Amino acid sequence: MSAQSVSPLPDHSPCLPHPPLDRPDSPSVAVLAVCIVLIAVTLRPGIVSIGPLLPAIILELGLSHTQASLLTAIPTLLMGLLALPAPWLAHRFGRDRVILAALGVLALAIVLRTLAGSIGQLFATTAGVGAGIAVAGTLFSGYVKARAPNRIALFMGIYATAIGLGSTVAAAATGLIDQAFDDWRWAGGFWVLPVLMAIAAWLVIERRSLGSAPFRASSPAPRMPLRNPTAWLIALFFACNNLVFYALIAWLAPMYVELGETSGTAGLILASYTLGFMVANPVFGFLSRSDDRRLLLAASSSIALLGSLAIAVAPGAMPLVMVPIAAFGTGGAFTLAMTLPLDNAATPEDASAWTAFVMLQSYLVGAAGPLLMGYLRDSTGDFHSALWLLVAVGAVMLLVTPFLQPHRLRAAS
């Protein structure tokens, strides 16, 4: 049975208090798309906006560079660790209520981080940012499966594109806001505004589900697919993709500065990476029409590998071409990887459990990417070995793709 043919759960399900799109009392496709975009654009600025502000934060609070790297590593780690309890929280209190609470935590943490007067307060509020992103991001895939079981790839493409949009805008605008106010706290706190907009939209669009009964004792809590080999292969694929993505997000600009580019040009190269990633999301979401996405998975992995190989061989040769190519493959792989747990899950609750399992593995590995690349840079004196490591990781991604057929389709064939 395909993911598209899954029958919706009854309206009294704890994680599906509202009907899918094909019911007359559900919101329109356009309303759902707006809701997805408003939520998704909030899920990265709290992390990405820190990068342009690091020099000012280091200067004011006296952080070492190792401590400063934790401002990115902590949220990424929590995106993996807190994926585990998220399905249980959704089962106990209601998915849509937990998403609302997670957005509230994210907004509060962004505001409190701007008031941090010590390193401890800075790290604690950064952990709050990671917690809000982790829980909301984990449960949102189950929301998409519940609302649009026949349009999973399309809406996950919209979701991934909006995440990329939020990242790109935050990367480009934070420095300008900092220059305008001459204060990193105002520039960092600015990104609470889209979160507040998302909360307002969620309260309006999902007001019926937020008021429904959140718990039904006879419904068993979803279980992680620990014994399913397909789940482990999906986690491996996603982990490799995240490692490459977060490693390049952290070190692409510093690497090109070392190669002789100005900081402005290096920032432009980094922006080309986030832009290439974002453009790939709707493209691969639109192209992906079948539950068996192995051909597109192989295509996206090959494009990412080709770009990474070109950068490793000649990093100074046409970076504004090669870097977006690598990003386009990585972005396509991200969109498709986000759909894989949904393809294998039979219900929205199972989708949340599968997503939590995959996110745990992938974001733990993704958090290690920047640290590993930085370690190799310190050990060897340049980024050459680190770039070839990313090529090797990309090759592993490609080798995994033939085994990513949904296990239900494999069992039926």
Q: Which helix (H) or strand (E) holds 137?
A: helix 119-147
In sequence order, the 6+-apart residues with CB closer than 8 A to the CB of 118 are 61
pLDDT band at 361 (very low <50, low <70, confident <90, very high): confident
Question: Which tops the pLDDT comparison, 62 or 267?
Answer: 62
Cβ 116 vs Cβ 194: under 8 Å: no
pLDDT band at 309 (very low <50, low <70, confident <90, very high): very high
- Residue 224: the pLDDT is 78
Q: What is the CA radius of gyration of the chain?
A: 20
3-state secondary structure of 221: coil
Question: Which tops the pLDDT comparison, 65 or 166?
Answer: 166
pLDDT band at 221 (very low <50, low <70, confident <90, very high): low
Among positive and negative, which fits the CA dihedral 372, 376, 382, 388?
negative
Residue 2, pLDDT above cutoff 50 = no
| Tens digits of residue pLDDT in 394-408 | 999 999 999 998 765
Winning range, highest mean pLDDT, from 7-11, 151-155, 350-354, 392-396: 392-396
Mean pLDDT of 323-333: 95
pLDDT band at 158 (very low <50, low <70, confident <90, very high): confident
- Residue 68: the pLDDT is 74
- Residues of the chain above pLDDT 70, percent: 87
Mean pLDDT of 314-338: 92
Nearest to 277 by CA among 394, 157, 370: 157
Paired residues of 13 in beta bridges? 16
Question: Which tops the pLDDT comparison, 263 or 302?
Answer: 302
pLDDT band at 375 (very low <50, low <70, confident <90, very high): confident
Q: Which domains does the chain have, with CATH numbers?
A: 16-215 (1.20.1250.20), 225-413 (1.20.1250.20)
Residue 326, pLDDT above cutoff 80 = yes
Type of residue found at 50: I
Nearest to 370 by CA among 57, 42, 77, 56: 77
Residue 242, pLDDT above cutoff 60 = yes
Residue 220, pLDDT above cutoff 60 = yes
Query: Mean pLDDT score of the chain, rounded to an integer?
Result: 81
Residue 122, pLDDT above cutoff 90 = yes
